[in-house]
């Protein structure tokens, strides 16, 4: 049999790939936009503080708060300036980490986040998206705020993870072996959300898997394909975010989740997401959920080590492509406005003080 020609081989491979574009190696971006020494010190310190909170050596509450997904760097910096001032007021009771999410997992289709589509036009300018993302992270850190990111693409961390103090694996990817392996090698504490159907066991399994060592394929900082061997992440933990037609932030649901953790030999600690299915993605309801969580903390529940809030400058959400965008309003999930967020943070700080006094 005659061997296939190069033309024939091209007809076998990449038949549905329209275009291949070179991805800038991580070292290019790390050199162009370096993390300064003061920023590195902040990242290291806040990672250590987060670990101390998870281990309950620090009795503060971790609060990860910010936009559902960043689409406007100017508005995100504006928000960060406000949050940094508030975080400074409450730093004896809260470790505030700004939620700076650039990758948006989609159930079907839609805007995939700033890294994938920075120009909001489906152009897929990933190199620019990575550059904008890293630039924003450095700007937030310069304000003295630690940052938290959700990791979706397993290659992205090589470009930004040195700036991240806390990370998350989302509900749609918690069950993914790729993301469990990724979590095992990340340098910061990493939270795994329960499944979209509310299944907490999926997150329990993910935390156990991430604590183990793994070998998997990826890239090194130069962009060269590599085998990555991990040591395991003992700071992996669970995030309760509710499920379809159900919530799991209440006292009974939290106790049930903690029983699952203990049965699996995991530390009795939990971060609770007040948004997503725990609030039916209703920003007004999210404020009520945050108050309920604060009540549990004030009553002495020290297994609740963190809270997540979706918040931006303007309340609600808007549709991309519906005209001129409202400054400071989400184009993905609806968020609380800044004033409501500020009040929620104050209430959570007060709850921590009450918990401390009641010991």
For residue range 1-11, list pLDDT tens digits in order: 556 555 555 67
Q: Where does residue 128 rank: exposed (0-12), middle (13-18), buried (19+ CB within 10 A)?
A: middle
Alpha-carbon distances of 195 from 107, 153, 239, 277, 310, rounded to whole Å: 13, 18, 10, 11, 19
Per-residue pLDDT tens digits for 115-168: 999 999 999 999 999 999 999 999 999 999 999 999 999 999 999 999 999 999
Establish if 26 belongs to a structural domain. no
In a domain, 322, yes or no: yes
Q: What is the mean pLDDT of residues 19-28?
A: 95
Q: Over the stretch 302-336, which tens digit does the pLDDT of each residue have?
A: 999 999 999 999 999 999 987 899 999 999 999 99
Query: Distance between CA 10 and CA 317 in Å, rounded?
Result: 45
pLDDT band at 359 (very low <50, low <70, confident <90, very high): confident
Whether 168 is covered by a domain: the verdict is: yes
Inter-residue contact 46 to 165 (CB < 8 Å): yes
Compute the Cα dihedral for 41, 47, 51, 56 and give only its sign: positive
Supply the pLDDT for residue 49: 98
Contacts of 325 (CB under 8 A, 6+ apart): 71, 72, 318, 331
Band (15; pLDDT cuts 50, 70, 90): confident
Mean pLDDT of the chain: 95
pLDDT given for residue 293 in this prediction: 98
Binning pLDDT at 50, 70 and 90, where does residue 286 land? very high
Does residue 114 sit within a domain?
Answer: yes
Q: Is residue 24 part of a domain?
A: no
CATH number of domain containing 325 = 3.20.20.70
Report the share of the chain in percent with pLDDT over 70. Answer: 96
Tens digits of residue pLDDT in 27-45: 999 999 999 999 999 999 9
When pLDDT is cut at 50, 70 and 90, the band that residue 245 belongs to is confident
Confirm whether 73 is domain-assigned: yes
- The C-alpha atoms of residue 169 and residue 175 are separated, in whole angstroms, by 10
pLDDT at 3: 60
Q: Are strands 190-193 and 166-169 parallel, antiparallel or unpaired?
A: parallel
* Mean pLDDT for the stretch of residues 244-248: 91
Kindly state the average pLDDT of the residues 213-220: 96
| Spatial distance between the Cα atoms of 357 and 351, rounded to a whole number of angstroms | 10
pLDDT classification of 66: cutoffs 50, 70, 90: very high
Provide the domain count of the chain. Answer: 1
Q: What pLDDT, on the 0 to 100 scale, is given for residue 9?
A: 56
Q: What is the mean pLDDT of residues 83-98?
A: 98
Considering only CA atoms, which of 353, 307, 357 is closest in space to residue 96?
307
Name beta bridge partners: 118: none
Helix/strand/coil for 58: coil
- pLDDT of 62 reads 98
Structural domain containing residue 348: 38-357
The pLDDT tens digits of the residues spanning 343-358 come to 999 999 999 999 999 8
- Do the domain assignments include residue 217? yes
* Confidence class for position 105, pLDDT limits 50, 70, 90: confident
Q: What is the pLDDT of residue 130?
A: 98
- Number of Cβ within a 10 Å radius of residue 265: 8
The answer to the question of residue 16 being in a domain is no
């Amino acid at each position: 049999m005659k061997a296939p020609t190069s033309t024939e081989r091209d007809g076998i491979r990449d038949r549905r790939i329209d275009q291949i574009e070179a991805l800038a190696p991580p070292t290019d971006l790390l050199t162009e936009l370096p993390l300064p020494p003061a920023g590195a010190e902040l990242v290291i310190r806040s990672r250590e503080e987060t670990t101390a909170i998870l281990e309950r050596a620090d009795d503060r509450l971790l609060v990860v708060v910010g936009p559902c997904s960043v689409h406007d760097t100017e508005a995100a910096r504006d928000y960060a300036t406000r949050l940094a001032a508030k975080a400074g007021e409450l730093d004896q009771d809260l470790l505030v980490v700004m939620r700076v999410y650039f990758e948006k997992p989609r159930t079907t289709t839609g805007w995939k986040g700033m890294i994938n589509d920075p120009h909001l036009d489906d152009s897929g300018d990933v190199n620019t998206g990575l550059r904008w993302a890293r630039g924003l992270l450095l700007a937030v850190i310069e304000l003295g705020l630690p940052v938290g990111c959700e990791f979706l693409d397993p290659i992205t961390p090589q470009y930004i993870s040195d700036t991240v103090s806390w990370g998350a694996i989302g509900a749609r990817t918690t069950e993914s072996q790729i993301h469990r392996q990724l979590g095992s090698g990340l340098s910061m504490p990493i939270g795994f959300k329960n499944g979209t159907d509310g299944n907490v066991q999926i997150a329990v399994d993910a935390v156990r898997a991430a604590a183990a060592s793994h070998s998997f394929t990826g890239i090194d900082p130069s962009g060269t394909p590599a085998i990555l061997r991990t040591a395991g992440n003992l700071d992996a933990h669970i995030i309760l975010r509710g499920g379809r037609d159900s919530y799991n932030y209440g006292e009974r649901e939290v106790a049930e989740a903690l029983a699952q953790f203990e049965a699996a030999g995991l530390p009795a600690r939990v971060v609770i997401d007040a948004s997503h299915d725990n609030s039916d993605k209703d920003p007004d309801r999210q404020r009520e959920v945050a108050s309920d969580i604060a009540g549990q903390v004030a009553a002495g529940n020290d297994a609740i080590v963190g809270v997540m809030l979706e918040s931006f400058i303007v309340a609600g959400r808007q549709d991309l492509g519906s005209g001129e965008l409202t400054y400071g309003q989400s184009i993905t999930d609806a968020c609380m406005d800044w004033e409501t967020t500020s009040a929620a943070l104050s209430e959570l700080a007060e709850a921590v003080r009450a918990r401390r006094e009641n010991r």
